[in-house]
Amino acid sequence: MRKNFFCIAVLVSCTLPVLADSSKDALNPLLTGAPSLSITPDARGGSMGDVGAATAPDINSQHWNPAKYPFIESNMGLAVSYTPWLSAIVNDIDLGYLSYYYKFDDLQAISTSFRYFSLGNIPLTTANEEYLGDAQPFELSVDVAYSRKLSEHFSAAVAFRFIYSDLNNGINTSAGGSSTEMYPGWSLAADVAAYYNLPITLSTGDANLAFGLNISNLGSKISYDQRTTSNFIPTNLRFGASFDIPFDDYNRLSINADLNKLMVPSSQSRFAEGFDPNDDTTWDLGDAYYDISPMRGLWMSFCDAPGGFKEELREIAWGAGLEYAYNKQFFVRAGYFNEHETKGNRRYFTVGAGFKLSAFSLDAGYVIALHQTNPLDRTLRFTLAFDIFGLQNLVK
């Protein structure tokens, strides 16, 4: 069988879309297992340059920063999001996301989400083009979080997550001359998050300054060959800031930005045995990469880049976005996401819109890539959210 299928499936879902010009800098992206965990699931965050650590709390805060839930206005909500992923290339890869929260009181909340990422239907053949069957690879995760206000303006949260990744879905990959059999992989992980919210009184109304921090997917590595080798899950450090400005009683503008750093070691590392900065053939950790523990990997992620501190800075991706709101009912959004060309080269503009009534809201987001070859181009997201507390008041 074609062994490259599984590598292709992982890389496609991780969306490393455009290779860097190796004549300028060495291509050295950070690769992980279960990469679908890094995909933006909802239309609001996705239309503001993939930001959400410090934006105004909403039902989908579970992905961005669950510590925001104690500051949300309604006591209970449910949202469903759908993304036909990589639609510029194929038509059967999609991401579904379900999120829910409940506030016990003004201080604490519990929240949960379910993510399902399908890589579609893929015919498998041997090297001799012998048909083996169809695979329907997929990844899923389910998590639950508890968040609490620790002061009038500060809250914290912890989340626990189960991750399951099946890249062959029942097909015997050892057939057809392949020496490696693939198995489903799973992992357990946790998030630690914090949120600071400071109201500011302006002449035009009440503004809001917020900061958010979320360290997500702290957990065990994932293996597809019964622990012979193992891959890091996408442990990510996200820091964001937001400033919500009122122009008058009806018009507001929110300015938002996030920084992201994957806390996983590079397979091309200056800790490789015999490392020579002038010889890129000595950068590869080889089999030693699979023996790195998750905790040691966290430490290495900040200091192992072959290019030193300059390359470490390149591993920080950033996004920025604006949200204009009229009467807290109609929304227009725009943003930009940037990743260095040697780390994946995801660079795109985003736009979106939404409207909100008393009991539900509908949002849509759209990606405009800077490169025509970028598979993220024309990615469209939809989110339908329900204020369950508001629905209960309507039927009373």
**What pLDDT does 190 receive?**
98
- The verdict on residue 234 lying in a domain is yes
pLDDT given at position 83: 93
Regions of the chain short of the pLDDT cut 50: 1-24, 173-179
Q: In angstroms, rounded to a whole number, what is the distance separating the alpha carbons of residues 166 and 113?
A: 19
| pLDDT computed for residue 124 by the predictor | 72
What's the pLDDT at 210? 98
Question: Under 8 Å CB-to-CB from 79, ≥6 apart: which residues?
Answer: 42, 58, 59, 60, 97, 98, 99, 100, 383, 384, 385, 386
Q: What is the CATH number of the domain that holds 368?
A: 2.40.160.40
Asked whether residue 340 is assigned to any structural domain, the reply reads: yes
As a whole number of angstroms, the distance between CA 94 and CA 380 comes to 10
Global confidence as pTM:
0.89
Q: What is the tens place of the pLDDT at every residue in 87-104? A: 777 788 899 999 999 999
pLDDT of residue 5: 41
DSSP 298: H
In a domain, 100, yes or no: yes
**Phi then psi for 282, rounded to 5 degrees?**
-95, 5
Which SS3 state, helix, strand or coil, does residue 66 take?
Answer: helix
Q: What is the mean pLDDT of the chain?
A: 87
Q: Give the tens place of pLDDT for each residue, 261-300.
A: 999 998 888 888 778 777 777 788 888 888 899 999 999 9
The predicted structure's pLDDT at residue 2: 40
Considering the domain boundaries, does residue 134 fall inside one? yes
Considering the domain boundaries, does residue 303 fall inside one? Answer: no
Which tens digits make up the pLDDT trace of 320-358?
999 999 999 999 999 999 999 999 889 999 999 999 988
Question: According to the 3-state scheme, what is the secondary structure of 192-253?
Answer: EEEEEEEEEEECCEEEEEEEEEEEEEEECCECCCCCCCCECCCCEEEEEEEEEEECCCCEEE
Q: pLDDT value at position 20?
A: 39
In a domain, 338, yes or no: yes
Q: For residues 198 and 86, give the distance between their C-alpha atoms in angstroms, rounded to a whole number.
A: 38
Do the Cβ atoms of 81 and 380 come closer than 8 Å? no
The DSSP bridge pattern shows strands 154-166 and 138-149 to be: antiparallel
In a domain, 298, yes or no: no
- Give domain status of residue 310, yes or no: no
Our count of domains for the chain comes to: 1
Which pLDDT belongs to residue 396? 60
User: What is the extent of the structural domain holding 225?
Assistant: 4-260+317-395
Question: Residue 346 is encoded by which pair of tokens?
Answer: 């995801």
